[in-house]
Chains A and B, each alone.
Chain A
């Protein structure tokens, strides 16, 4: 097992009929890195991410996530990763505590560990009082925090975040990114998609997807230099401006 890389992907392709959603992408993500996966809507970010999480099978190509093959060992990958989807997908009719307990249980944690983690999480999130509220009743920002915590409940090697901060105010977003930094600081690899360019600045490295291909990949500083742009927004507009595919 390669200890340096958490994710290695080579020539990944995903087709839906005639439509090529992911067109021959290759990249590596180092352990403990915050890797930003950028692209316009419909560029193929979510599709690629779903393959890495073992939710979808690639049409061709190869790769490993957490040391396991993405074509054959999806269930092993799932033990070692956390996933937070774009759409809130925890059980709305269960309370916050019950959601945490369910997913803790699924990942095989002991009852006692789950209880301890629950308290710690509620504390960390600052939503201690909301523990017995139904997930459906939480405000969007809290829902996202909860999803994030649950994705981390089993201390995975890698966490995949699909547009984790869509639709919340800048302050909430900033605090969310603080949590991401903390997580990465503990050695967890973070793979995050976003279309907020200011967030891209926080990443160690970013890749920009256009029409299913990765058209640029470097550290934010490197990219700004390469495209002689003042900020990531300009970089993105230059790269994504080449898109031919419609949203």
Chain B
């Protein structure tokens, strides 16, 4: 029985005028274009410098900032109002204000005469921007102290080092995440439309009147999505390697393993929604609703640790949290499923609930 049902699902998928093309084009386009766009490696922060000191020292500090590569100096002058106006018009993201007497006070020591204003409407840009300026100021002060030799040498040498991604390449960080998004979107949207379109076409009735088992029917609807997801994963990995030169640090096998687990959850959810929807549009809105929530609360774009506690509890129900975490860990750090046992457990638990619910909610007899 399985063989025939599977045959039907595959044939229907490939015969659809839009689906195969979309399932192919969506991930490929995403992988080719999005890595360039999803850069939070913020380099061009527009900096306005209000220099009320106009001394050699103050211009050295400003030069320190601009030479760091993170900033683009959009204003250098003495008018605080002008700088503020630039920020109001989104032309400046940060303002550094140097007080008169900057060159003297650093030496004499009564409060640091530099002020920083950061536009934080965009949180990431704001907090990174302020960190960058602070770094520049610190290193300026450090150099100055060392050069003048007026104070004792620093008590301890503090250095920084980064594992796994020494170049701090944000693109690399987003590659596994984009794979996760591509796979999850396709395998959530397609199943959600599947059963409900059979309902709308009336074909499900002819199936319901046969002795077909519920589990077989649901399972056969799910299996093609594994094939699709494997195809997407392979295509994405090849693009990542051929176009961007990235390869997985961990075994590719584990990537496929986690993909299987994720599909069980997502396809199960899609079919579950499909069962409860009376028309395709409803199913689409509901799955879109979940997909966007899953995506934004998965830790892909913003860290989960920064959410309030209640929201962090909600993310335990988010399959993408586990999937994204696992794919990143395997791809970037070479982790193994044993090390990521909690992701395996989370996906497996959610998966069994989803599939169980999908089978149970599929009613052959009303």
A interface residue numbers (CB < 8 A to B) = 53-57, 74-76, 78-79, 81, 83, 85, 87-94, 98, 101-108, 150
Does B158 have its Cβ within 8 Å of any Cβ on chain A?
no
Question: What is the distance, in angstroms, from A162's C-beta to the closest C-beta of chain B?
Answer: 10
> Are the C-beta atoms of B202 and A85 separated by less than 8 Å?
yes
Q: Name B209's closest neighbour in chain A (CB-CB).
A: A83
A88: which B residues are within 8 A, CB to CB?
202
Q: Name A114's closest neighbour in chain B (CB-CB).
A: B4
Q: A91-B12, A93-B12, A102-B7 are in contact. Are A74 and B206 (CB under 8 A)?
A: no
> Are the C-beta atoms of B1 and A89 separated by less than 8 Å?
no
Size category, B interface: 20 to 34
Does B210 have its Cβ within 8 Å of any Cβ on chain A?
yes
> Are the C-beta atoms of B15 and A93 separated by less than 8 Å?
yes
Question: What is the distance, in angstroms, from A156's C-beta to the closest C-beta of chain B?
Answer: 10
Of A56, A83, A103, A106, which contacts B365 at CB under 8 A?
A: A56
Of A75, A79, A87, A102, which contacts B8 at CB under 8 A?
A: A102
Q: A54-B209, A89-B206 are in contact. Are A108 and B365 (CB under 8 A)?
A: no
Q: How far is the CA of A57 from the CA of B210 in the complex (A)?
A: 16
A150: which B residues are within 8 A, CB to CB?
206
Does B147 have its Cβ within 8 Å of any Cβ on chain A?
no
Q: A94-B11, A108-B1 are in contact. Are A89 and B201 (CB under 8 A)?
A: yes
10 contacts between A and B (CB under 8 A): A78-B210, A79-B211, A81-B209, A83-B206, A92-B203, A94-B11, A98-B11, A101-B4, A106-B207, A106-B212
Q: A56-B365, A79-B211 are in contact. Are A89 and B205 (CB under 8 A)?
A: yes
Does B85 have its Cβ within 8 Å of any Cβ on chain A?
no
Contacts of B179-237 to chain A: CB distance below 8 A: 201-203, 205-212
> Are the C-beta atoms of B205 and A106 separated by less than 8 Å?
no
A54: which B residues are within 8 A, CB to CB?
209, 364-365
B81: which A residues are within 8 A, CB to CB?
none
> Are the C-beta atoms of B209 and A53 separated by less than 8 Å?
yes
- Which of B3, B205, B206 has the most C-beta atoms of chain A within 10 angstroms of its own C-beta? B206
Does B366 have its Cβ within 8 Å of any Cβ on chain A?
yes
B interface residue numbers (CB < 8 A to A) = 1, 3-5, 7-8, 11-12, 15-16, 201-203, 205-212, 364-366
Question: What is the distance, in angstroms, from B190's C-beta to the closest C-beta of chain A?
Answer: 15
A57: which B residues are within 8 A, CB to CB?
365-366
B211: which A residues are within 8 A, CB to CB?
75-76, 78-79, 106-107
Question: What is the distance, in angstroms, from B291's C-beta to the closest C-beta of chain A?
Answer: 26
Of A55, A81, A91, which contacts B208 at CB under 8 A?
A: A55
Question: What is the distance, in angstroms, from A92's C-beta to the closest C-beta of chain B?
Answer: 7
Q: Name B17's closest neighbour in chain A (CB-CB).
A: A93
Q: How far is the CA of A56 from the CA of B205 in the complex (A)?
A: 11
B366: which A residues are within 8 A, CB to CB?
55-57
A89: which B residues are within 8 A, CB to CB?
201-203, 205-206
Q: How far is the CA of A81 from the CA of B211 in the complex (A)?
A: 10
Of B12, B15, B201, B210, which contacts A103 at CB under 8 A?
A: B210
B212: which A residues are within 8 A, CB to CB?
106
A107: which B residues are within 8 A, CB to CB?
210-211
> Are the C-beta atoms of A55 and B365 separated by less than 8 Å?
yes
Question: What is the distance, in angstroms, from B165's C-beta to the closest C-beta of chain A?
Answer: 47
Q: Name A74's closest neighbour in chain B (CB-CB).
A: B365
A79: which B residues are within 8 A, CB to CB?
211
Question: What is the distance, in angstroms, from B241's C-beta to the closest C-beta of chain A?
Answer: 36
Q: A74-B364, A91-B12 are in contact. Are A105 and B5 (CB under 8 A)?
A: yes
> Are the C-beta atoms of B203 and A106 separated by less than 8 Å?
no
A74: which B residues are within 8 A, CB to CB?
364-365
B207: which A residues are within 8 A, CB to CB?
106
Q: How far is the CA of A126 from the CA of B291 in the complex (A)?
A: 50
Q: Name A107's closest neighbour in chain B (CB-CB).
A: B210
B206: which A residues are within 8 A, CB to CB?
83, 85, 89-90, 103, 150
Q: How far is the CA of A239 from the CA of B8 in the complex (A)?
A: 46
| Chain A to chain B: the 10 pairs with minimum beta-carbon distance, closest first | A105-B4, A83-B209, A89-B202, A89-B206, A79-B211, A78-B211, A56-B366, A87-B202, A106-B210, A74-B365
Question: What is the distance, in angstroms, from A85's C-beta to the closest C-beta of chain B?
Answer: 6
Question: What is the distance, in angstroms, from A199's C-beta to the closest C-beta of chain B?
Answer: 23
B15: which A residues are within 8 A, CB to CB?
93
> Are the C-beta atoms of A98 and B209 separated by less than 8 Å?
no
A91: which B residues are within 8 A, CB to CB?
8, 12, 203
Q: A74-B365, A93-B16 are in contact. Are A98 and B8 (CB under 8 A)?
A: yes
Question: What is the distance, in angstroms, from A115's C-beta to the closest C-beta of chain B?
Answer: 13
Q: How far is the CA of A88 from the CA of B7 in the complex (A)?
A: 21
Q: How far is the CA of A107 from the CA of B207 in the complex (A)?
A: 10
Q: How far is the CA of A83 from the CA of B364 in the complex (A)?
A: 14
Question: What is the distance, in angstroms, from A73's C-beta to the closest C-beta of chain B?
Answer: 11
